[in-house]
Amino acid sequence: MSEKSVFKERILEYAEKTGITKAEIYQNTGISNGVFSQKGGLSEENVLKFLSHYNEISTEWLLTGNGSMLKSEKNIEVHRIHTPPYNEKNHEALVPLYNIDAAANLRTIFDNKLQNIIDTIRIPDLPKCDGAIYIRGDSMYPLLKSGDIVIYKEISDFDSLIFGEMYLIDFTINNDDFLVVKFVKRSNIEGYIQLVSYNLHHDPIDIPVQGCIRAMALIKASVRINTMM
């Protein structure tokens, strides 16, 4: 059985346990009628449509079969970080939370959006975002702490950077790989950008844009999770 067929089987298992009919799933999610009766698996779009409505289901269970079928209760603090100089259309969309350790780097996540998903996050009144990851380190402390989640929007054109904003940057220097969250500012060196920490104990660093940066994303918000005891 293919991976995408397994997703379908798990959704039908969830539907049987909760008493939801296929017709209700079609109506609630916008998935085309008959998909669950056809041979073959579910597309990435249909999986995300399902998760967007049935957000009580555990994404880890749906995608890997591990853990419990349903999510546990959590207390979530959300902080809006990016404040654009223009009005953005707000959404109540489902944001995938990725396992950056399993993916190895941000570029892999960008290229394989249905892989390495740990969970999903639903946040009202947040502009469209592409994903979220846990962060490590203290370079943005106390604005961000190690273990916080950052929610991001992918950047495909480095010429469209908004200087002064906070970015997630995946880059390589001298064969060493880095994934950092920094403020991006203009550099005095042609063809470079300057990465600046919020924690003043970390010095700014200038890196070349071409041949160094593998992927970048604009940080839209941060999430701090406190498990309810």
CATH code at position 108: 2.10.109.10
**b/e map of 14-35 (b: 16 or more CB within 10 Å)?**
bbeeeeeebeebeeebebeeeb
Amino acid at position 222, single letter: S
Mean pLDDT for the stretch of residues 66-91: 63
Number of structural domains the chain divides into: 2
Chain centroid, CA 197 distance in Å: 22
**b/e map of 46-80 (b: 16 or more CB within 10 Å)?**
bbbbbbbbbeebbbbbbbeeeeeeebeeeeeebee
* 102 and 31 co-located in one domain: no
Residue 41 lies in a domain: yes
* 44 and 93 co-located in one domain: no
Per the structure, the complete domain to which residue 186 belongs is given by 74-227
Asked if residue 229 has pLDDT above 80, the reply is no
Where among 44, 64, 84 does a domain terminate? 64
Which tens digits make up the pLDDT trace of 6-42? Answer: 888 889 888 888 888 888 898 888 888 888 888 778 8
Least confident of 9-23, 43-57, 154-168: 43-57
* 88 and 22 co-located in one domain: no
Asked if residue 163 has pLDDT above 80, the reply is yes
* 105 and 34 co-located in one domain: no
Asked if residue 118 has pLDDT above 70, the reply is yes
* 58 and 89 co-located in one domain: no
Residue 45 lies in a domain: yes
- Structure confidence at residue 227 as a pLDDT band (50, 70, 90): low
* 59 and 121 co-located in one domain: no
Asked if residue 132 has pLDDT above 90, the reply is yes
* 118 and 154 co-located in one domain: yes
* 55 and 84 co-located in one domain: no
Give me the count of residues in the chain: 229
* 102 and 16 co-located in one domain: no
Residue 69 lies in a domain: no
